Structure 1
Amino acid sequence: MRLGVLCSGGDAPGMNACLRSVVRAAASDGHDVIGIRRGYEGLMNADFFDSELGVGKMSPRSVSHILERGGTILNSSRCPAFATPEGLKVAADALDRAGVDALIPIGGDGTFRGAVALAEHWKGQIIGCPGTIDNDLLGTDATIGFSTAVATAVDCIDKLRDTAESHERLFLVEVMGRHSGHLALATALAASAEIACVPEEIVDAVAIAARVQELRSLGKQSIIIVVAEGDEQGGAVALNEKLSLADCPYATRTVILGHIQRGGSPTAEDRVLATRLGDFAVRSIVDGATGMMAGETCGHCCLVPLEDTFSTHRPLPEHQIELLDRMSC
């Protein structure tokens, strides 16, 4: 059997670890793996991994020492042209010409939407692996890259807290999460932030200022507010302006972490998750599965229909929202 593998959409720490797992799991069972560079755009252009073993062929040696590296050696992209009927037909033809029997796309909801659309034009098997720092896919307790992105943001906030305490300031720290607040909430909890502003919740600048006033009266010398970039207030900069108009009692500073959250060496948790899911994706294909995501729930690998992973918005854990409020006093 010949398997194709690609990374699509925003990169996430652990994509390389997942790629390594796919290649070595397939090789251990005697299957070939074709690496597709630059995601769906590369698939349309038949842009395959540069290999002396043949067109795109990846060996266990070609993925040596990449488990600990961030990003993806296959590169990634976003490709609007792939979403068109013409683009999907071109991609399907490219897979057939390369003799690919099954495809393992590593990415988030956009990647999986593309995989579902591709399945209408291509008869091969498709099993996706969830690689996104947003942790917003249904059917898995965690996505590859989420743990590392949280750890990166927490490390930055730990440093900001030092200067916030020294100058008795309020810092608004913007993290990624245009449509999902999972990263912002987990970061706020782990970094002992006082408030998290997320797209799923209505954010009232006046109410936040009142809460900050209350915390100041309790003796708080500094405040950290974690803001998801997709927050309806317009992000940290816009929220900062509204807080200044609402008589915020602290001098404020805004820090936008941006794409720094996507990079860096993956945590042990992400490395293990990526390795398990890559191997499980290969075994699932060998067993005949298709149209599924390889996920993990309650410590066990599971298959979830790709359509179900993005069918609705994954809710934030209410107990964590309440926990953050109790810890902020």
Structure 2
Amino acid sequence: MTSEVITADAAGTWQLGDLTVNRLGFGAMRLTGSAAFHLGAPSDRERSISVLRKAVELGVNHIDTAAFYFSALRSANEIINSALSPYADDLVLVTKVGPLRNYSGQWATSARPEDLRGHVEENLRQLGRDHLDVVNLRRMRQESIAEHFGALAELREEGLIRHLGISDVEPRHLAEAQAIAPVVCVQNRFALDSYDPATDELLRICGEQGIAFVPFYAISGDRGPQRAATTHDDAVLAVARAHDATPTQVRLAWTLRQGPHVLTIPGTGNPDHLVENVAAGALRLTDEEAGTLDVLHQKDS
């Protein structure tokens, strides 16, 4: 790819309700260390702050975070607040609630509907905001999300939340939520080498209804929250060579090509990786390359 500086607007834009975001965003989980869910060595705080500021400098205006993104000494929300407050008018902060971690970092049971007000208020406090732009309800294996989503809809009516989304769901949960309040985005695990029929169906439904589809772990392969994938199929490597790009950039470009409603939120604590991730928004796959990668995706079924 070209050596010139590429900014996030190269990927195009989409609407989260009445909020316009560049389709290439940033996930804050790794700001606290190798992964917020594993309490290992904490990240360098000043480096994390510089990565966030560089992201905004490169045009990123969609940052995904959560109050439960923390490690031994770091809180993603606190780092975001320190790095970016006072916030630019066009910066959209998207958070999520539902999972419950205690102060030692261990996962507890999922939040009850009546707990969600406290979760929202904690995000507000940590981020230094009087409202949250978008709040995703992360489903924690419950069959129905109606009570939890209804609790968030009440907070939206109160003005604490501007827009609502859902995460880790099936198509039936989207319909269930939409019967209660508008849904502006769906977050599910989705990647080139991770196939799930229900998620692919959600991708299609969201496209038809104009809802943003936001994959998480899009570049991590089977490593989940740990870090980006380090092994790649030969087809990915061939496309990367053809474009003088990295395999990670190819994965992101393929993800964005799944539809204009698809947003990506790759996370990193490395400033060089950040620049590479943002530049992926300018990588245009040929129809033949995309078709080859589509087959690779389906093969994982």
TM over 0.5: no
TM-score (norm 1): 0.31
- Specify the structure having the higher radius of gyration (Cα): 1
Structure with greater contact order relative to length (CA < 8 Å, sep ≥ 6)? 1
TM-score (norm 2): 0.33
